[in-house]
Every structure is written in structure tokens, then in C-alpha cells.
Amino acid sequence: MLKRVAFMACVSAALAAAADGSMTDAERGYLLEQLESTKTKLLASIEGLTDAQWKYKPAANVWSVEECAEHLILAEEYIFSGSQQVLKTPAVPRPANSNAEFDRKFFAGVLDRSHKFTAPEPITPSGTKFATPADAAREFTARRGKTIAYVKSTEDDLRVHVAPGPAGQMDAYQFLLLLAGHSGRHTLQIQEVQANPGYPKAAAE
């Protein structure tokens, strides 16, 4: 009888573990690392820019640094809200692609700027919302801070709620990873603008 009770307890524990879609410590750590590092790189890319550098457009159809930064600020809550909507879908068995190897490949793919996309209307920049880099830095820091605070503390079952995304069916954790990768992607775009031969030089140069 005792052996049977012990066996059933083990089965119950295994089933509970299989159904648990919350982040592991390693998954939380990886996501936080990407959120922090992409924040740092973006802020460094816009720090101390002159007004001419902030507003410079290499071509009429190419975003300025100002527009890239505005897009990222708008996208922070837009993508985060998307991940929260995914959590409202019915739970499913943990998908085969909800693993560290796929997460890393997906993140690298988001950074790949050889494939271009059109931004949804709600996060298309106007180029008028943030007059200075300092204004944009403050707003981005505040919004990213909320995302980081959530990731540090949440026990939501991010891994067992899925919805269509850029990589097919994605879990809610991967939408948060998309958020981090998205800011990294557009920081690379900012660096492309700054590498343009026509980019204004700083006053001290």
C-alpha cells in the first residue's frame, strides 16, 4: 500500500511538472540578460546626439535615429501587451519549440536585418513625439523597466500559451524575447544610419 501511495505521488509530481509552463531559472536569466543588454545598447546609441544627428534621414523612406527610437518606445508596450494577450489563450502541452536552442536561434533571427518588415500602424513613428534623445531615453528606460520588473517576478505560465508570431506558433515567453530582440534589431538600424557618409558630425569633431 505504501509503495502504491509513493508511486502515485511520483506520478502526480511528474504530471504537475509537465503541466507547469512557468519559466525555469535559466530561461528567466536568459530573457533578463537580453532585455538588459539591448536596453544598454540602445541608450548608448542615442546618448549625446546633436539635433542634426537625431533628425538626420539618409533617404526619404529611411527612418531617422529619432524615428527608430520612437518606434522602439511605442513597441515596448505594444509587444508586451501582445504577450499578455497570448496568456489569455487556453493552455496547451508545452510546445516542442519551447526550448533554449530554439529561443537562441529565434533571437538571432530577429536581429538579422537582411529581412525587412513593415511596422504596424500603431507603432509607426511620427518623428514628433520626442524632441531630444534625452526625452526618448527617459521614456524608453521607464517602459523597459516595467518589462524587466515583470520578468523578474512573474510566475505566469508563459511556456504553455501560444499564438501565431514571426516564427510561427510562439509561446508568451518568446513574445517577450521578441520584444528584446526587436529593440536590438532597431539599435542596429540606428547604427546603420550613423554609419552613413552623410550623417552629421558632432560639434566637437
Residue 162 CB partners (closer than 8 Å, separation 6+): 86, 89, 92, 95, 169, 170, 171, 172
Residue that has been written with the C-alpha cell 511620427 in this structure: 126
pLDDT the model gives residue 18: 38
Q: What is the dihedral of CA 55, 56, 59, 60, to 10 degrees?
A: 20
In the prediction, which pLDDT does 202 show?
Answer: 80
Please tell me the distance from the alpha carbon of residue 174 to that of residue 179, in angstroms, as a whole number.
Answer: 9
CA–CA distance, 136 with 66 (Å, rounded to integer): 8
> How many percent of the chain have pLDDT more than 90?
83
pLDDT of residue 203: 61
Question: Of 109, 108, 150, whose CA–CA distance to 23 is shortest?
Answer: 150
Q: What is the pLDDT of residues 162-196, one digit of tens each?
A: 999 998 999 999 999 999 999 999 999 999 999 99
Provide the residue type at 140 as one letter. F
Q: Identify which of 45, 173, 41 has the alpha carbon closest to the alpha carbon of residue 107.
A: 173
Q: Give the type of residue at 3.
A: K
Whether residue 78 is predicted with pLDDT greater than 50 in this model: the reply is yes
Give 39-77 pLDDT, tens digit per residue: 999 999 999 999 999 999 999 999 999 999 999 999 999
User: Binning pLDDT at 50, 70 and 90, where does residue 115 land?
Assistant: confident
Q: What is the pTM of this model?
A: 0.87
Is the predicted pLDDT of residue 2 greater than 60, yes or no?
A: no
With cut-offs at 50, 70 and 90, classify the pLDDT of residue 117: confident
First to last CA, the chain: 83
**The pLDDT of residue 1 is above 80:** no
Q: Say whether pLDDT at 118 is over 90.
A: no
**What pLDDT does 131 receive?**
94
Name the β-bridge partners of 170. Answer: 163
Give the relative orientation of helices 172-194 and 100-111 as an angle to the nearest 10 degrees: 30
| % of the chain exceeding 70 in pLDDT | 89
